[in-house]
Amino acid sequence: MNEDDQIGFTAYCGFFCRDCIPSQKRLFETIRELSQLASTLRLDKYAELKAHDNPSLKDYAIFERVLSELAGLECQAPCRHGGGKAECVIRDCAQARGFAGCWECSERPACNLLAHLKSFHGATIDNNLDTIEECGINDWSDKRGKHYPWSQDS
């Protein structure tokens, strides 16, 4: 991976944007394709007709809502390029302080802004930030931790 990719996809919080599910372009292409095909086939009507034989199909409307909500999670660009959450207190803080990321902040160990990420991602946040601080933003991504708790074994 070239340096520009590592820098551009390194989030202020210490995540690597390409690891995040909302950045998985193929997933969202598939969701759009599935939604379009289901609409074209009128799969809602088919599920309605088949629901008497398969009661689970009565929940088809829930499937459509979930698919729609998932589609809305797509991230259009890395946070350094205007993507990510529209309002991110971590990005705002780093930018206001003139930091490339949290790894440059001496207050990081006690920072409450990272708490919500740590509650879900565990030690990965601190490990990534320590690695970036140690290796630099140009040479850290191959040493990063797993993004999601369920990917620890993979």
pTM for this predicted structure: 0.81
Which are the contacts of 68, defined by CB distance < 8 A and separation ≥ 6? 35
Task: List the alpha helices (DSSP H) in the chain.
Answer: 3-8, 25-41, 43-50, 60-71, 89-96, 115-121, 124-135
pLDDT tens-digit series, residues 11-48: 999 999 999 999 999 999 999 999 999 999 999 999 99
Rounded CA separation 114/91 (Å): 11
pLDDT > 90: percent of the chain: 77
Using the predicted structure, report yes or no on whether residue 154 has a pLDDT greater than 70. Answer: no
pLDDT tens-digit series, residues 41-88: 999 999 999 999 999 999 999 999 999 999 999 999 999 998 888 899
**Residue listed under structure tokens 């030690």:** 123
How far is CA 61 from each of CA 40, 44, 64, 67, 82, rounded to the nearest angstrom? 16, 8, 5, 10, 33
Rounded CA separation 140/103 (Å): 12
